[in-house]
Amino acid sequence: MEFTLYGFEVYTSEVDDRCVDFVVRRDGGQFYDVQVKSVRGYNYIFIPKEKFPIAPHRLVAVVVLHQDSEPELYLIPITAWLAPNQLLVSRDYEGLKSEPEWGINISRKNQPLLETHRFERVIVRL
């Protein structure tokens, strides 16, 4: 819904086998694949690297749910993981069973880093 408020066309995905929940486009321009993740409070969320590789047309929409508050919306270009930090982590798990993943450490400590990805700030740059 937020994308439509900013003039984007939204195309839903029939199948979510490639970590694409929907596709958006504004004014006949670039198409963006969007993966949506939601989390209650401060927590860790991840996306499998294999299913959502880095490309300039991929976005991760994050919805943070806090009790008794409006949902907080963030939009993170997958290219942000080219420069991992305490918020955005790259885990490869070499020699282990877990598959490589892009992670988001949502915490009070990382809140300033997360704020740079607030939906309203990022959407206007697309």
Separation of alpha carbons 90 and 88, rounded Å: 7
pLDDT number for residue 19: 80
Mean pLDDT across 71-81? 98
For residue 21, the cross-strand partners are none
The DSSP output letter for 82 is G
Contact of 21 with 36, CB cutoff 8 Å: yes
For residue 89, report the phi and psi dihedrals to the nearest 5 degrees: -115, 150
pLDDT tens digits along 98-123? 999 999 999 999 999 999 999 999 99
Separation of alpha carbons 82 and 64, rounded Å: 23
Separation of alpha carbons 100 and 94, rounded Å: 8
Separation of alpha carbons 37 and 51, rounded Å: 14
pLDDT number for residue 52: 93
Share of the chain above pLDDT 70, in %: 97
pLDDT tens digits along 40-73? 999 999 999 999 999 999 999 999 999 999 999 9
Position 101, amino acid: E
Residue 50: name the closest of 116, 97, 112, 100 by CA. Answer: 100
pLDDT tens digits along 11-21? 997 766 668 99
pLDDT tens digits along 28-46? 899 999 999 999 999 999 9
E strands, 1-126, in order: 8-12, 22-26, 31-40, 44-48, 58-65, 72-77, 88-91, 101-105
